[in-house]
Amino acid sequence: MFHAASSPGQNRTPLPPAEPPASGVPSPRRPGEGGGALGGQRDPFFDNAKYLAIVLVAMGHSWAPIKSGSQFLDGAYNVVYTFHMPAFIIISGFFSRNFDLRPDRVKRLLTGVVVPYVIFETAYSLFRMYVGDSSDRQISLLEPWYLTWFLVALFIWRLTAPVWRVVRWPVPLALGIAVLASVTPGVGGDLDLQRVLQFLPCFVLGLCMKPEHFHLVRRRSVRIASVPVFAAALAVGWWTAPRMDVSWFYRQSAAQDLGAPWWTGPVMVLTMFGCALLLTACFFAWVPGRRTWFTALGAGTLYGYLLHGFVVKTVLYAGWFEPSWLHRPLGAVLVTALAATGVTLLCTPPVRRVFRFAMEPAMEWAFRPDLNRVGGAGAGGGPVAGHAAERETAMAGG
């Protein structure tokens, strides 16, 4: 469907020139329609997709404490976890297509991914200790907790982006690495490497995609076909909920760690990848391509992603998920609505202004003053276009 095996370096439609981002917030640019570019115009599709995906992330985290006892909610949870992170990761890969190890781009990788990871891993660890009253009193940057694994993964994936542009079969190779990880129990503790490796094919697929692939899945015929596909997915999710270990959907364990035969690891990696592609395509088919009331919120998804975890954990530690009525259908509807509303507020400009120091620090004092002048127009579409694409990758969080 996505022509994933095609070489990402050939016949590529270039990203259009970037305009200066408003208020320091990076933004996706509109891919060329029919091979052309539309100047520096934003493409609402990617902002819309990121916002809707972050809402699904918040909903999933809010469902986790109340889904036990409800087979339908359990099944819906599994369906959402099949594709919501792959959708984010594919978009992240797509906007990493021009990334290389040029100094100014490495600077953006450090300030947009590494520094937020250090800040939020420390903040979440302290939050767990003193608000959650955890007996684990250690702060370890090698063991991401809760949401922060995605920043580690994004850092590693982007460093490897130049490699995937030169190999002949990038997606099959990435799948092979994911399969090997799924049968290697020793992988997974430090830096949450199981997740990094098992989600790697989604990132590499995004690197290989072209703008026309997104247009392909947004056709009316695909939109219509996605309805029975999602209905079937919910039915399968409902049936498998009591029969399947939910840990498979997290992609953070080898088969042996889950008490399963080793050969189930490769089977599940390939099955989950195929299901993720199918449901992600159906998800993209229903993402609006026009500007909506939530389009502008798509630029703040990293904020919503990293901040909503404090809200969910606060509610959990306070015991507010425990009332039995919340575990019934009306309670689940209320929790869902509150989760969507809460993460929406966390993506708004006022919140971004408050927390920009942690999410997008300038840190000019830490780098050589001539760093922004390094690079030329021949490197990945020029420093301006490439820089905008790199910043957008960091904002694709999920």
What's residue 381's pLDDT? 33
Local confidence band at 4 (pLDDT 50, 70, 90 cut-offs)? very low
pLDDT of residue 373: 63
The residue that leads in pLDDT, 187 or 352, is 352
pLDDT value for 53: 96
Which are the contacts of 303, defined by CB distance < 8 A and separation ≥ 6? 346, 347, 351, 352, 355, 359
**Model confidence pLDDT, tens digit, residues 16-38:** 443 333 333 334 554 443 333 33
Is the CB of residue 256 less than 8 Å from the CB of residue 188?
no
- pLDDT (0 to 100) of residue 27: 42
Least confident range of 42-51, 88-97, 113-122, 185-194: 185-194
Question: Nearest-CA neighbor of 394 among 77, 137, 92, 146?
Answer: 92
* Beta carbons of 311 and 340 less than 8 angstroms apart: no
189: left (phi over 0), alpha (psi -120 to 50) or beta: alpha
Taking the C-alpha atoms of residue 351 and residue 356, their distance in angstroms, rounded to an integer, is 8
> How do residues 226-269 score in pLDDT, each as one tens digit?
999 999 999 999 999 999 999 999 999 999 999 999 999 999 99
pLDDT in tens, 48-76: 999 999 999 999 999 999 998 889 999 99
Q: What is the pLDDT of residue 396?
A: 45
Yes or no: say if 252 and 199 are a contact pair by the CB < 8 Å rule.
no
- Separation of first and last alpha carbons in the chain: 23
Tens digit of pLDDT for each residue in 152-181? 999 999 999 999 999 999 999 999 999 999
Look-up of token digits 């063991």? 143
Distances from the Cα of 301 to the Cαs of 152, 170, 254, 398, in angstroms?
Answer: 17, 28, 30, 7
Tens of pLDDT, residue by residue over 122-151, are: 999 999 999 998 888 888 899 999 999 999
* CA distance linking residue 333 with residue 92, whole number of Å: 30
Q: Looking at the chain, list the stretches that DSSP marks H as alpha helix, in order from N- to C-terminal side.
A: 44-63, 71-94, 103-109, 115-130, 149-159, 161-164, 170-182, 193-198, 200-208, 211-217, 220-240, 247-250, 264-286, 301-318, 329-346, 349-359, 383-394
10 Å CB burial of residue 71 (0-12, 13-18, 19+) is middle
| Mean pLDDT in residue range 308-318 | 96
> CA dist 36 to 31, 328, 390, Å?
8, 51, 21
Q: What is the predicted pLDDT for the residue at 372?
A: 63
pLDDT, one tens digit per residue, over 182-197 is 999 988 778 999 999 9
Query: How many residues are given for the chain?
Result: 398
Q: What was the pLDDT predicted at 189?
A: 74
pTM of the model: 0.84
Cα torsion through 234, 239, 242, 244, rounded to 10: -80
Mean pLDDT of 190-205: 95
Is 398 a residue whose pLDDT tops 60? no
- pLDDT at position 136 is 82
CA distance 64 to 76: 11
Residues 317-333: pLDDT tens digits?
Answer: 999 999 999 999 999 99
Find, among 92, 59, 100, the residue nearest to 337 by Cα. Answer: 59
Mean predicted confidence (pLDDT) in 38-48: 76
**Mean local confidence (pLDDT), 202-224:** 95
- What is the pLDDT, as a whole number, of residue 72? 93
What was the pLDDT predicted at 289? 93
- pLDDT tens, position by position, 101-111: 899 899 999 99
